[in-house]
Amino acid sequence: MTDTIIKFDKVVKRFGDVTVLNELDFTVKRGEKVSIIGPSGSGKSTVLRILMTLEGIEGGVVTVDGEPLWHEGPNLKPASEAHLRKMRAQLGMVFQSFNLFPHMTVLRNITEAPVKVLGLSRAAAKARADELLDLVGLADQAAKYPHQLSGGQQQRVGIARALAMRPKILLFDEPTSALDPELVGEVLNVIGKLAEEHDLTMLLVTHEMRFAREISDRVLFFDQGRICEEGSPEDLFTAPTQDRTREFLGSILKEG
Amino acid sequence: MHWTEYLPPLLQGAWVTVQLTVYSTVLGAMLAFAAGIGKLSRNLMLRAVAVAYIEVFRGTSLLVQLFWLYFALPMAGQALGLDLRIPPVVAGVMALALNIGAYGAEVVRGAIQSVQQGQYEAARALNFTPRQTLTAVTIPQAVPEMMPSFGNLAVQNLKDTALVSLISLGDMTFRAEQLRNFTQDSTTIYSMLLLMYFGMALVLTAMMRGLEHRVGRWRKVGV
Amino acid sequence: MLFGFEWDTSGPLVFAISILPMLLVGMWVTIQATVLGFFMALVLGLIWAVLKAAPSRIVSWPAKAFTEFLRDTPLIVQLFFLYYVLPEFGIILPAFMTGALALGMQYSAYTSEVYRAGLEAIGRDQREAARALNLTTVRTFTHVIVPQAVPRIVPAMGNYLVSIMKDVPVLSVVTVLEMLNVGRIIGDRTFNYLIPLSLVGGLYLIMTLVASAGLRLLGSRLPKQGIPLK
Domain locations in chain C?
12-221
pLDDT per residue over A226-236, tens digit each?
899 999 999 99
Using a CB-CB cut-off of 8 Å, the residues of chain B touching C72 are 155, 159, 197-198, 201-202, 205
Identify the closest residue of chain B to A50 by CA–CA distance. Answer: B125
DSSP B173: H
DSSP string, C24-92: HHHHHHHHHHHHHHHHHHHHHHHHHHHHHT-SSHHHHHHHHHHHHHHHHS-HHHHHHHHHHHGGGGT--
Nearest-CB residue to B127 (from A54, A85, A95): A85
Looking at CA atoms only, how far is residue B45 from chain A in angstroms? 21
Q: What is the pLDDT of residues A140-188, one digit of tens each?
A: 999 999 999 999 999 999 999 999 999 999 999 999 998 998 999 999 9
**Interface membership of C176 toward B (CB under 8 Å):** no
Shortest CA gap A52–chain B (Å): 6
Task: Band the pLDDT of C204: cuts 50, 70, 90.
Answer: very high
Contact A103 B218 (CB under 8 A): yes
pLDDT-derived band at B221, boundaries 50, 70, 90: confident
Return the CATH fold of C12-221: MetI-like fold (1.10.3720)
pLDDT in tens, A25-79: 999 999 999 999 998 878 889 999 999 999 999 999 999 998 999 998 888 899 9
The pLDDT, as a whole number, for residue B85 is 87
Domain B17-169: give its CATH architecture. Orthogonal Bundle (1.10)
